[in-house]
Amino acid sequence: MKYELVILCVSVALMVNTGPALRSQQIPSEGEKSQQTSAQMENVQKTAANSSNEQNITAISEAERRLPPDRTLEDHVAEALTNNAALRARRARYEAARMQAPQAAALPDLKIGFGYFAAPVETRLGPQRATLSVSQSFPWFGTLGAEEDAALARARQVYQDYADARNRLVYELRDTWYRMWVLERSIAVTGEHLRIVGTLRDLALLRYESGKSTFSDVLRLDMQREELRTTLRTLEDSREPLRQEFSRHLGSELSEPLLLPDTLVLPGDLPETDELRGHLSDRNPRLRGLEEEQVFWESKTSAARRMGYPSFTVGVTYTAIGPRDDMDLPDNGRDAILPQVGISIPLFGSRYGAMEEQARLQREAARLQRRDVEQQLHTVLSERLRDVTDAERRFGLHTRLAELAETTYGVVLKEYSAGSARIDDVLAVERDLLRYTLAREEARADLNRAYDYLMYLTAQEKE
């Protein structure tokens, strides 16, 4: 870190400038003063060596963290779409709903009857032995087609529920990814500032030993260091819950450490607001599902109306007749074939009228619900557009503030080493630098998160 290099340089300069002050005390002998100065310079060299090692470790860690991940976010998205249990359940419900259409379009079952005469009934041509009958019922024209249309519309509605769940899963997985990235960045930045405070403590201790400051400066830095250590432990403890949440979205346990990118790429420009609103109205699965519900109830209305019309039955009865033994007749023992046609008239048609009215009211309810949901989604769209603008504004602001805090930190550190600034000033700027850096990374994640939610609302894939 360049902050540590500045601190070390200032520390060396401080030791050189404090030589006259040490000689002016005239307490130790010349040999003791020489040994004391040598010991202090040796401490400074050790501090420089330790800081250099920390920088090398940081450089190695940064290099490792910048290695290209084995699996990208899109790879995890593809895995979640394949393995997530909740999504697979919704897919199974859709496949089950599709199987309703063949059932609705099928004719009533064919009726076959067989009768055997225990005591044969005598006829002119002979005794009746047995009968076999076959009949098939046919509803009014268009009834089965309307029922099939209703079943298909219901299946399409279930599919839209599945599509909405799929899009939400993609958004939630990315949201968890962003929170994990922010957490890792917070751990890294907090660790860097912990090392900075440790180096500051060494500087404050040197100033105290040279009589340039009070021991309270060292204690204040100790307090800040303990606070940062506690914050760092809390951040590290937050890794496992997020890892478990990510695994739940994936539908499988993570078998290896998750490698996160060094930085998040900022999303591109959004389409125009009117275009986004058009996409929302046309593509959002929740709205399309309610449209399919209207089609379902419209088909049920047509089916209920046709159910109030007559239905027909066509059949044939075959009767086996035995020959007569007491006389010889033309066609003796000839079997009988009886074609049949029947009609079923719904005399009590009020039931079907009520069914038709019920379906009509349900269709109207679905239409009104769609309008209400569309208004709600447009409100959410406006809020997310505001979030995008706010995140862009916060990212630019905290980027500038972090740069200013970095410059201010170098200046106030030099002032502190010269005795014109207090340790409180150094700590205040150090806290500001930490806060602005973390806020910048949080704004970066918020910008991606708000952009992804807009893609979820408008059913578009992130480019």
Q: Are strands 126-138 and 111-123 parallel, antiparallel or unpaired?
A: antiparallel
pLDDT one-digit tens code per residue, 429-445 = 999 999 999 999 999 99
Distance between CA atoms of 426 and 196, rounded to whole angstroms? 11
Of the listed ranges 20-29, 62-71, 390-399, the one predicted with least confidence: 20-29
Distance between CA atoms of 152 and 99, rounded to whole angstroms? 9
CB 128 within 8 A of CB 319: yes
Q: In the block, which residue shows the tokens 């799929």?
A: 166
pLDDT one-digit tens code per residue, 327-337 = 777 877 788 89
Domain 68-96+166-307+359-463 falls under CATH 3.40.50.1980 = no
Segment 203-215 shows an average pLDDT of 88
Mention every residue, 6+ apart, whose C-beta is less than 8 A from residue 248. Answer: none
pLDDT one-digit tens code per residue, 339-389 = 999 999 988 878 899 999 999 999 999 999 999 999 999 999 999 999 999
Three-state secondary-structure class, residue 109: coil
Q: What does the domain layout of the chain look like in residue ranges?
A: 1-65, 68-96+166-307+359-463
110 Rama sector, left if φ>0, alpha if ψ -120 to 50, beta otherwise? beta
DSSP 8-state assignment for residue 421: S
Helices and strands, number each (H, E), in the chain: 13, 4
Beta bridge partner(s), residue 122: 127
Distance between CA atoms of 374 and 369, rounded to whole angstroms? 8
Distance between CA atoms of 148 and 382, rounded to whole angstroms? 40
% of residues, the chain, pLDDT over 90: 65
Q: Is the pLDDT of residue 62 over 90?
A: no
CB 251 within 8 A of CB 80: yes
Cα–chain-centroid distance for residue 206?
52
CB 20 within 8 A of CB 14: no
Residue-wise DSSP of 386-401: HHHHHHHHHHHHHHHH
Q: What angle (nearest 5°) sits at the alpha carbon of residue 449, between those of residues 446 and 455?
A: 145
pLDDT in the model for residue 253: 85
Beta bridge partner(s), residue 340: 315
CB 133 within 8 A of CB 116: no
% of residues, the chain, pLDDT over 70: 84
pLDDT one-digit tens code per residue, 235-273 = 999 999 999 999 999 998 887 778 888 888 899 888 899
Q: What is the dihedral of CA 454, 458, 461, 463, to 10 degrees?
A: -60
Confidence of residue 33 (pLDDT cuts 50, 70, 90): very low
Distance between CA atoms of 312 and 67, rounded to whole angstroms? 75
Q: What is the dihedral of CA 362, 367, 372, 377, to 10 degrees?
A: 120
Distance between CA atoms of 198 and 3, rounded to whole angstroms? 12
Of the listed ranges 75-89, 160-174, 235-249, 344-358, the one predicted with least confidence: 344-358
Confidence of residue 42 (pLDDT cuts 50, 70, 90): very low
Confidence of residue 19 (pLDDT cuts 50, 70, 90): very low
- CA nearest to 296, candidates 370, 198, 402, 398: 370
